[in-house]
């Protein structure tokens, strides 16, 4: 009983001393509700409310690699990019995979960066996915979505960075899907020759080895998502033309028909395995998804 009385007395003394402390003034922590500009309101209506996605376009060092020289996205680029991302990536997946699919697997945080992100080897990182919950997109200050008034040649040139950034979105989303449910292990056995020195190969050389791009040579995961992203940023006609034109040359620069045929077969085997995986696991017909996206891209470039 004496112990309880002692503890009670100490408590009274403690609270008495606290109450006698002088006023420390206003807290330095800003707890007020931030003011929203038109961009913030648009993001809330189109990404946050329907998909619970946070889009960060204002500069935040904590979200980026402080060893890199990066610059923020200019304000006038934010909504045009997000509008096109919705048209080219979010909406087609939602139509073909279902709203619940997209609500579940869309990255819950997107960080927009205006500048290039250079690697030590001179390569440029266009996007990064982290843990299936966050995607960082670079290069946005170099993309113009207003193609009005351009001739056909100028439009083709203007479409290149647009296709590049949305190929990155498909690439990173592919990582999220296979990290959630893995693709068949048999995929990893379809081709050999994976190497960290992928940058020493051209895309043409890689295709002759059964890889859709040079970057596919890095490892099976990159191979898988490069196949998916290349497939989804081309019409089916363009995709078939790309595969059908793959050629391998011998030491005398003559076409090696057998090696060329084998390379095309390997890529078609990968295509079939990815199509089966997407349909069986995610209930998405990638040929319908490809056609859906191609229609949007065709409307953008015409």
* Residue with more model confidence, 155 or 229: 229
Q: Are residues 186 and 300 in the same domain?
A: yes
> What pLDDT is stored for residue 94 in this prediction?
96
Q: Is residue 12 part of a domain?
A: no
Average pLDDT, whole number, for the chain?
86
| 273-280, long-range: CB < 8 A, 24+ apart | 273/183, 273/184, 273/186, 273/187, 273/190, 274/183, 274/187, 274/224, 274/227, 274/228, 274/231, 277/183, 277/184, 278/177, 278/228
DSSP string covering 21-52, please?
A: SPP--S-SS--SPPPP-HHHHHHIIIIIHHH-
Least confident interval from 16-25, 67-76, 268-277: 16-25
At residue 95 the predicted structure's pLDDT band, cuts being 50, 70 and 90, is very high
Q: Is residue 3 part of a domain?
A: no
Q: How far apart are CA 66 and CA 171, in angstroms?
A: 24
Tens of pLDDT, residues 25-65: 665 565 556 678 899 999 999 999 999 999 999 988 888 77
Q: Is residue 28 part of a domain?
A: no
Contact 251, 222 (CB under 8 A): no
Q: Are residues 67 and 124 in the same domain?
A: yes
Q: Is residue 229 part of a domain?
A: yes
Q: Is residue 275 part of a domain?
A: yes
Residue reference for tokens 């498909």: 170
Token code pair at residue 102: 């997209």
Q: Are residues 188 and 302 in the same domain?
A: yes
Return the CATH number at 284: 3.40.390.70
Q: Is residue 11 part of a domain?
A: no
At residue 10 the predicted structure's pLDDT band, cuts being 50, 70 and 90, is very low
Q: Which residues have CB under 8 Å from 199's CB, separation 6+?
A: 121, 123, 214
Q: Are residues 195 and 296 in the same domain?
A: yes
Overall number of domains in the chain: 2
Q: Are residues 153 and 198 in the same domain?
A: no
* Residue with more model confidence, 165 or 102: 102
Convert 253-268 to b/e letters by CB count within 10 Å (16 or more is b). eeebeebbeebbebbe
Closest CA to 173 of 270, 252, 104, 100: 104
Q: Are residues 186 and 231 in the same domain?
A: yes
> What pLDDT is stored for residue 288 in this prediction?
98
Q: Is residue 31 part of a domain?
A: no
Least confident interval from 23-27, 109-113, 116-120, 155-159: 23-27
Q: Are residues 154 and 77 in the same domain?
A: yes
pTM here?
Answer: 0.82
Tens of pLDDT, residues 274-295: 999 999 999 999 999 999 999 9
Which structural domain range is residue 250 located in? 181-302
């Amino acid at each position: 009983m004496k112990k309880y009385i002692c503890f009670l007395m100490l408590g009274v003394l403690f609270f008495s001393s606290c109450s006698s402390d002088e006023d420390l003034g206003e807290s330095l922590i800003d707890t007020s509700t931030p003011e929203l500009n038109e961009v913030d309101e648009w993001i809330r209506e189109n990404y946050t409310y329907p998909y619970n996605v946070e889009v960060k376009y204002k500069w935040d060092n904590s979200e980026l690699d402080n060893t890199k020289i990066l610059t923020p996205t200019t304000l006038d680029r934010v909504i045009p990019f997000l509008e096109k991302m919705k048209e080219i990536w979010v909406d087609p997946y939602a139509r073909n995979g279902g709203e619940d699919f997209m609500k579940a697997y869309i990255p819950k945080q997107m960080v927009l960066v205006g500048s290039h992100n250079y690697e030590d080897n001179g390569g440029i990182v266009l996007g990064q996915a982290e843990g299936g919950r966050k995607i960082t997109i670079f290069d946005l200050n170099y993309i113009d979505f207003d193609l009005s008034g351009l001739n056909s040649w100028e439009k083709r040139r203007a479409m290149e960075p647009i296709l590049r950034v949305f190929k990155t979105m498909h690439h990173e989303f592919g990582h999220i899907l296979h990290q959630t449910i893995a693709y068949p292990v048999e995929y990893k056995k379809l081709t050999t020759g994976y190497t960290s020195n992928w940058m020493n190969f051209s895309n043409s050389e890689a295709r002759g080895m059964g890889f859709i791009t040079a970057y596919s040579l890095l490892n099976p995961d990159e191979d898988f998502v490069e196949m998916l992203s290349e497939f989804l940023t081309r019409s089916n006609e363009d995709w078939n033309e790309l595969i059908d034109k793959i050629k391998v040359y011998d030491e005398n620069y003559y076409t090696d028909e057998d090696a060329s045929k084998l390379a095309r077969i390997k890529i078609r085997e990968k295509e079939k395995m990815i199509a089966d995986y997407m349909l069986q696991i995610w209930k998405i017909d990638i040929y319908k998804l490809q056609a859906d996206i191609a229609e949007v891209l065709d409307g953008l470039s015409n």
